[in-house]
Amino acid sequence: MGKYFGTDGVRGRANEGLTLEMSIKIGQYLGWYYGKEKHAKILIGKDTRLSGDMFELGLAAGATSMGAQVYLLGVCPTPAISYLVRKERFDCGIMVSASHNPYYDNGIKCFNHNGEKMEEDLLLEIEAYMDGNCTINLATGDHIGEYFNWEDGLEIYMSWLKEIVPVDLEGYHIAVDLANGSATSTVVETLDSLGATVEAINNSPNGININTKCGSTHPE
């Protein structure tokens, strides 16, 4: 493990252990690293935490300042990033999430082009840039990148889920606890399309109620 990147990315309290400046630096280095010969193509997703917008846009700003083409998937489960990076041939993917932690925490997890955890050597390079131990040149003129709200991304992911679980759930009544988190974007629609009657609880995220007395840490 490095100085900032642990076993599951960078994590910390928003604007304390994990800052906007850090997200910009991470976005910049990835945009530069994958954009040496072409515009890098980077996918970014997030969960429902209040600070998610800030870090999502910080990463996007950093990456586009280095010439990257950034696709914002919005609220999505982490596996959606892993799958879509590989299927749609992104150079890398980034998920803004702190899993089961409280809303005031957040994290940044990076995936390589295969949708797998990013290589340790590259993460150490990012850390060196974050600490000011190396410099890179910003894009200028028409080399500056841009970002897009990728509205079709979740549909592609949900279609894949239905393909790998080709079952008819007609007649099944399924209860799901969505923890007011990232699964609120996909679970009910996917199960409903397979024929199930879905009873969802904790399905109204407001930025601060993710994992609050619900989800995997509160099975009661």
Is 99 marked active-site?
yes
Element (H or E) spanning 171, and its range? none
* CATH class of segment(s) 156-217: alpha beta
Q: Residue 66 in contact with residue 94, Cβ under 8 Å?
A: no
Q: Could you give the angle at the alpha carbon of 187 between the alpha carbons of 181 and 191, nearest 5°?
A: 160
Quick one: pLDDT at residue 82? 98
Percent of the chain whose pLDDT exceeds 70:
100
Distance between CA 78 and CA 81 in Å, rounded?
6
Q: Residue 136 in contact with residue 33, Cβ under 8 Å?
A: no
Distance between CA 186 and CA 182 in Å, rounded?
8
Quick one: pLDDT at residue 1? 64
Provide the sign of the torsion angle of the four alpha carbons 132, 72, 31, 111, taken in this order: positive
What is the identity of the amino acid at 104? Y
Supply the angle between the helices 78-87 and 153-164 in degrees, to the nearest 10.
90
* Third-level CATH fold of 10-152: Alpha-D-Glucose-1,6-Bisphosphate; Chain A, domain 3 (3.40.120)
Q: Where are the alpha helices (DSSP H) in 34-90?
A: 52-64, 78-87
| Domain 10-152 and domain 156-217 have a common topology | yes
3-state SS track over 120-150: HHHHHHHHHHHCCCCCCCCCCHHHCCEEEEC
Quick one: pLDDT at residue 8? 85
CA 172, chain centre distance (Å):
31
Catalytic pick from 99, 159, 185, 216?
Answer: 99
pLDDT in tens, the chain (220 residues): 689 999 889 999 999 999 999 999 999 999 999 999 999 999 999 999 999 999 999 999 999 999 999 999 999 999 999 999 999 999 999 999 999 999 999 999 999 999 999 999 999 999 999 999 999 999 999 999 999 999 999 999 999 999 998 889 999 999 999 999 999 999 999 999 999 999 999 999 999 999 999 988 888 7
* Domain spans of the chain, in order of start: 10-152, 156-217
Q: Residue 48 in contact with residue 203, Cβ under 8 Å?
A: no
Beta strand 92-96 with 105-111 is antiparallel
Q: Is 57 exposed, middle or buried (0-12, 13-18, 19+ CB in 10 A)?
A: buried
